[in-house]
Amino acid sequence: MIFARLRRKNSTSKGTPARTGISGGFLPPTPLDSGLLTCQVHDESGALLPGATVTLLDRLNQRSAHGTTDSYGCFATSIAPGTHKVSISAGGYRRYTTRVEVRVNQHYALGGIRLEPDASLELPRPGRYRFDPYHTEIRFIAQHIGMSKIHGMFKNYDGVVEVAPRFEDSRIQVAIDAASIETGVKMRDDHLRSADFFDVANHPRITFSSDRFTHLRADRWMISGRLALRGTSSPVQLETNYLGQRKWQGPGFDGDLRVACHATATLRREDYSVNWQATLAKGIAVVGPTISIELGVQAVLDQ
């Protein structure tokens, strides 16, 4: 009965009415001794914002609900009656907070919430930034026999970010020593260096060169470019989270200006002619067809 009434009215409290059809056209079941809270989160341009974190704290400052917005930017939860502090956050945005009074068997609709960009994430000034090898990691994950994941990294590399006056015109160049691959198992590492995989004897370097920076929203960027591996070049898109810039003074570092980002990509082995195949008796591939790449980068401004 209450759900039919909620659908008809859509909102019984202040704020912009929640979108009809949250999470596929229905409101979640609500126990008779609790209330229902919903909201829809948007970015600075008004576009839906999936993956935003929503946290509710009760009057004792204990977490009473927690979750993330769905692909439509929506969040819905059953919640105990009483006063709750609502906090909504997403990478690159200022945190939004408010207080709500939830009553038994009622729907509190926060409506549309627009998050504003975090002004502290100022883009780096133009210049040449070089990867800091002590605070940068280039890692990968491969699936093994469809059951577990193998984690590895490259130990030796060089990377340069040329930051342009217009950030979208910036460029990245990365060169990786293919023989520096390390997974923690010597026999496996030797096999990866062989002609079955990286063929380091004939192709000692893996290189990436960007050709476009595209701003998606707040701290999110897409860096497009080409990755060359085993003599084959193929387009790659790095989903990049810009983490800002800092000055750090420590042993060996005299107030260096540095920028940081976290980037991920998925590569298909066949795009680079890495076609080594071995299967189990049931036809399951020993090595999966895709490799996940993860980069945690700190780059220092050349003086």
Same fold across 2-114 and 127-301: no
pLDDT in tens, 46-73: 999 999 999 999 999 999 999 999 999 9
- Residue 111 makes CB contacts below 8 A (sequence gap 6+) with 11, 15, 16, 17, 18, 39, 40
**Residues 181-217 pLDDT 10s:** 999 999 989 989 998 889 999 999 999 999 999 999 8
288 pLDDT band, cuts 50/70/90, is confident
Give Cα separations from 61 to 36, 58, 67, 72 (angstroms).
19, 5, 17, 29
User: Domain 2-114 carries which CATH code?
Assistant: 2.60.40.10
pLDDT of residue 254: 65
Single-letter amino acid, residue 17: P
Say how far apart CA 49 and CA 212 lie, in whole Å. 24
pLDDT above 50 (res 19): no
Q: Please report the sign of the dihedral spanned by the C-alpha atoms of residue 151, residue 198, residue 172, residue 267.
A: negative
Give the three-class secondary structure for 253: strand
pLDDT tens, position by position, 82-123: 999 999 999 899 999 999 999 998 889 999 999 998 887 889
Q: Which among 78, 80, 79, 81 has a CA at the least distance from the CA of 29? A: 78
The whole-chain average pLDDT of the chain stands at: 85
Determine how β-strand 148-154 pairs with β-strand 35-42: unpaired
Rounded Cα distance, 119 and 134, in Å? 28
Residue spans per domain, the chain = 2-114, 127-301
Tokens matching residue 298: 């700190």
Residues 253-265, mean pLDDT to the nearest whole number: 87
Residue 7's pLDDT is: 40
- CB–CB of 259/241 below 8 Å? no
Looking at residue 9, its pLDDT comes to 42
Are the beta carbons of 63 and 55 closer than 8 angstroms?
yes
Q: Return the pLDDT at 186.
A: 94
Distances (CA, A) of 303 to 127, 130, 136, 258, 300: 9, 11, 19, 12, 9
Domain 127-301 class in CATH:
mainly beta
* Exposure of 167 in the CB half-sphere (CA atoms within 13 A): 11
* pLDDT given for residue 253 in this prediction: 61
How many residues make up the chain in this entry? Answer: 303
254-259: average pLDDT: 82
Q: Is the pLDDT of residue 241 over 90?
A: yes
Among 126-140, 155-169, 246-260, 275-289, the range scoring the smallest mean pLDDT is 275-289
Q: What share of the chain is helix, strand, coil (3-state, %, to 5)?
A: 10, 55, 35
